[in-house]
Amino acid sequence: MSETPRDPYADRYDDAEPGDGLRDEPTTPVAATPDDERLRADDSPASARAAVVREAPPAAADDDEYQWHTGLNRPTGVADAVEFIDVHKAFGRNKILRGLNMGLPEGKISMILGPSGTGKSVCIKHMVGLLYPDEGDVLVHGESVPNMTDDELFDMRKRFGVLFQDGALFGSMNLIDNVAFPLRQHTDKSEDEILDIVRRRLDEVGLGSAHDKMPNELSGGMRKRAGFARALVLDPNIVLFDEPDSGLDPVRTALLCELIQEIHEENGGCYTVITHDIMSARRVAEFISVLWKGRIVESGPAEELFNSENAFVRQFLSGESQGPLGME
């Protein structure tokens, strides 16, 4: 957990005790808005003391834009498997990540929530070294991903299971070959064993009868589920699901959530799920990070976030049209 004592937002925690690292340096004052007042009033001294501030927003200029970003990270008591430290990423002039500080705790199912187009998928690509940050660092189990050599990177990726937003099945292979691919590449299992595992995985996601179909013969939801099976086939330690539940009917979504929980109980590890579905979040999330405009608005254990006082978090987690988030 990285503390950033130069946080200009530290004055939000006026009632924190001296010497907790939050007020040790002079800070720039932030124009108080009505919500600031409310936030401050609502923050009990206890929770404020426990909070670790990760955000280091730039002074003044876009204070307004980031008025909801308390960057509050309520502690979970476990170490982080993946950490983003002040990550900046831009595509041309389009700044996507703007000083992202985020941790995903080991051994828990974390969810990254946020409006469409804020860079959740971009985040995932940073974790596996498909994209490199312009500034800042991404740590996986304490190792810096951007500084890895190619061989280290390939080794690290074997610990990962990733479901891409569109499934990313190999168009030239049928479902069985798709799911068997990682097994064939990275294990010495016999063909029989491999087919056995693959059939079981496909049955789990309800594709037992479609196993010899090509990806282009499947519906979007079926492709998602096949991608899901493929991501998990090596029992990876860190699992990243990019919207596993989009494009699925409500019942399948519920079943998939249960499946995620079951598999997580079996294997453990750091599971990260990106979703827009609040029901799914309520069902499976143990830890939630809310991402907006390239930074964390708030993160922490799920039940605490669902009771958060932050207006943006509240609006987003209840899906109301009134609040800080508009269509813009």
Partner 1 sequence: MAGWFALPREWISSFGEIAKFSGKILGQVYSLRVLHFFGETLRQCGVLILGSTLVIWGLVFIVGLQCGIEGAYFTRAQGAPAYAGVFAAWCDLREIVPYGFGYMMSAKVGTGIVAELGSMRISDEIDALEVMGIDSVLFLCATRLLAAWLVLPFMYMAAVGAGFFASYLAVVQQIGEVSSGGFSLIFWMFQNPPDLLYSVIKGMVMATAIVLVGCYYGYHAGGGPVGVGTATAKSMVMNIVLVHLIGMLGTQVFWGANPRAPIGG
Ligand X SMILES: Nc1ncnc2c1ncn2[C@@H]1O[C@H](COP(=O)(O)OP(=O)(O)OP(=O)(O)O)[C@@H](O)[C@H]1O
Q: Which amino acid is at 286?
A: E
Could you tell me which stretch among 71-79, 116-124, 228-236, 313-321 binds ligand X (CB under 6 A)?
116-124
Give the pairing type, strands 135-140 and 80-91.
antiparallel
Q: Which amino acid is at 112?
A: I
Tell me whether residue 116 or residue 209 sits nearer to ligand X (CB atom): 116
Binding mask 162-201 for Mg ion (x = CB under 5 A): ---x------------------------------------
Q: CA neighbours within 13 Å on the CB side: how many for 163?
A: 28
Among 171, 209, 321, 326, binds partner 1 (CB under 8 A): 171
Tell me whether residue 119 or residue 247 sits nearer to ligand X (CB atom): 119
Among 2, 27, 28, 165, binds partner 1 (CB under 8 A): 165
For residue 99 the two structure tokens come to: 């000083």
Q: Among all chains, which residue has been given the structure tokens 């050599």?
A: 149
Tell me whether residue 67 or residue 121 sits nearer to Mg ion (CB atom): 121
Shortest reach from residue 214's CB to partner 1, in Å:
13
CA quadruple 315, 318, 322, 323: dihedral, nearest 10: 0
For the beta sheet containing 109-113, the strands, ordered from the edge strand earlier in sequence to the opposite edge, are 52-53, 72-73, 295-301, 287-292, 109-113, 270-274, 238-242, 160-163
Could you tell me which stretch among 14-22, 114-122, 248-256, 259-267 binds ligand X (CB under 6 A)?
114-122
Q: Do residues 62 and 42 make contact, with C-beta atoms less than 8 angstroms apart?
A: no
Binding status of residue 165 toward ligand X by CB under 6 A: yes
Tell me whether residue 67 or residue 121 sits nearer to ligand X (CB atom): 121
Return all residues near 293 (Cβ < 8 A) that are at least 6 apart. Answer: 65, 66, 69, 98, 118
Within its chain, how far is the Cα of 52 from the centroid?
18
Taking phi first (over 0 means left), then psi (-120 to 50 degrees means alpha), and beta for anything else, what does residue 192 get?
Answer: alpha
Among 121, 174, 178, 280, binds Mg ion (CB under 5 A): 121
Binding mask 120-139 for partner 1 (x = CB under 8 A): -----x--x-x---------
For residue 232 the two structure tokens come to: 């998990």
Q: DSSP strand E in 1-53: where?
A: 52-53
Binding status of residue 120 toward ligand X by CB under 6 A: yes
Binding status of residue 150 toward partner 1 by CB under 8 A: yes
Among 67, 70, 118, 299, binds ligand X (CB under 6 A): 118
Shortest reach from residue 97's CB to ligand X, in Å:
9
Q: Residue 117 binds which entry of Mg ion, partner 1, ligand X, none, with Cβ cut-offs from 5 to 8 Å by kind?
A: ligand X
List residues binding partner 1 (CB under 8 A): 125, 128, 130, 150, 154-155, 157-158, 160, 162, 164-166, 168-172, 181-182, 185-186
List residues binding ligand X (CB under 6 A): 91, 94, 96, 114, 116-122, 165
